[in-house]
């Protein structure tokens, strides 16, 4: 029987839990809204539930998953640099890609609160829970591993944006890795998301 089954499978139960739960949360978010506001759904699915698993199931401190200020001095510098770098790129894409305007114009109402709610959990989910959970077993390879579901979750958005997300996800992951906090990639992502809406909707320029 042992010969038929092959080598023993020795799984890390926390890696398995993070993989299964994160996959199911992405699917449930897409198919089964639980409130009348998709932004609050994102907070519940991607912030509240992973935090509950961390505290109640893993019996760990959320700080170990990037839920802290981390290296705030480096974080401030990297955040400002990221914003300055991305602003002209976002401006160009928002003005030159018709698909951006069509997709993002309806998101103008409620800005920037809607983008805050949309991304605070999203960033903890990818750049906190998955990244730091995976890094314990896979080391820096976790930077690419967390970028894959992040990129796939963008399918349905404008193609130029979706094609870039495997690299953007890695970059956001590196910021979290360097600062030991999901806060700084969140701030950069919050700026990018809010700015692209304003540019694509024609509010700026």
Average pLDDT per block of 10 residues along the chain, 205 residues long? 70 96 97 92 97 98 97 98 95 81 83 94 98 97 98 92 95 98 98 92 73
Q: pTM value?
A: 0.93
Structural domain tally of the chain?
1
- Residue 11 within a domain: yes
- Residue 205 within a domain: no
- Residue 32 within a domain: yes
Q: How far apart are CA 161 and CA 168, in angstroms?
A: 9
Q: Domain range holding 19? A: 2-200
- Residue 188 within a domain: yes
- Residue 33 within a domain: yes
pLDDT of residue 3: 64
CA angle 26, 127, 19 (to 5 degrees): 45
- Residue 13 within a domain: yes
Q: CA 142: distance to chain centroid?
A: 13
- Residue 154 within a domain: yes
């Amino acid at each position: 029987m042992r010969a038929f089954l092959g080598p023993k499978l020795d799984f890390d139960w926390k890696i398995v839990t993070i993989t299964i739960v994160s996959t199911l949360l992405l699917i449930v978010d897409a198919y089964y809204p639980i409130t009348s506001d998709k932004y609050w759904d994102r907070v519940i699915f991607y912030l509240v539930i992973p935090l509950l698993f961390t505290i109640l199931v893993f019996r760990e401190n959320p700080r170990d998953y990037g839920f802290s200020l981390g290296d705030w001095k480096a974080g401030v510098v990297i955040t400002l640099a990221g914003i300055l770098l991305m602003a002209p790129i976002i401006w160009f894409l928002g003005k030159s890609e018709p698909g951006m305007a069509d997709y993002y114009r309806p998101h103008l109402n409620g800005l920037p609160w809607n983008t805050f709610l949309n991304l605070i959990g999203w960033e903890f989910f990818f750049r906190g829970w998955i990244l730091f959970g995976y890094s314990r077993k896979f080391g820096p390879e976790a930077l690419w591993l967390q970028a894959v579901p992040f990129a796939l979750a963008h399918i349905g958005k404008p193609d130029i944006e979706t094609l870039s997300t495997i690299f953007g996800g890695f970059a956001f992951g590196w910021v979290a890795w360097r600062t030991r906090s999901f806060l700084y990639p969140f701030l950069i992502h919050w700026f990018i998301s809010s700015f692209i809406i304003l540019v694509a909707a024609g509010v700026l320029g």
